């Protein structure tokens, strides 16, 4: 296999604070896409929106299934 090179890049600053993946995960846990939107690229926001929607659909389906 060809060698893999790791290139670490700094997060872009947002409102004078570096963007933190931990912060985005905290906001995602709160379903706060409004706060996430300025922190991530549009394609990432779209992915997270779909992720939350599928999570909601899965939860709704589990509630309908008799125990």
CB 19 within 8 A of CB 39: yes
pLDDT tens digit sequence for 11-67: 665 566 677 889 999 999 999 999 999 988 899 999 999 999 998 888 888 888 776
pLDDT at 67: 62
Check: pTM over 0.75? Answer yes or no.
no
Write down the pLDDT at residue 14. 58
Question: What CA–CA distance (Å, rounded) separates 56 from 26?
Answer: 17
Position 6 pLDDT exceeds 80: yes
- What residue ranges do the domains of the chain occupy? 13-64
DSSP codes of every residue in the chain: ---------PPPEETTEE--HHHHHHHHHTT-HHHHGGGS-HHHHHHHHHHHHHHHHHHHHHHHS--
Which residues are CB-neighbours of 67 under 8 A, at least 6 positions away?
A: none
């Amino acid at each position: 296999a060809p060698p893999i090179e790791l290139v670490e890049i700094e997060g872009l600053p947002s409102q004078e604070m570096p963007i933190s993946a931990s912060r985005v995960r905290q906001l995602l846990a709160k379903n706060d896409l409004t706060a996430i939107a300025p922190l991530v690229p549009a394609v990432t926001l779209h992915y997270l929106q779909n992720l939350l929607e599928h999570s909601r659909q899965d939860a709704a389906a589990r509630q309908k299934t008799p125990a």
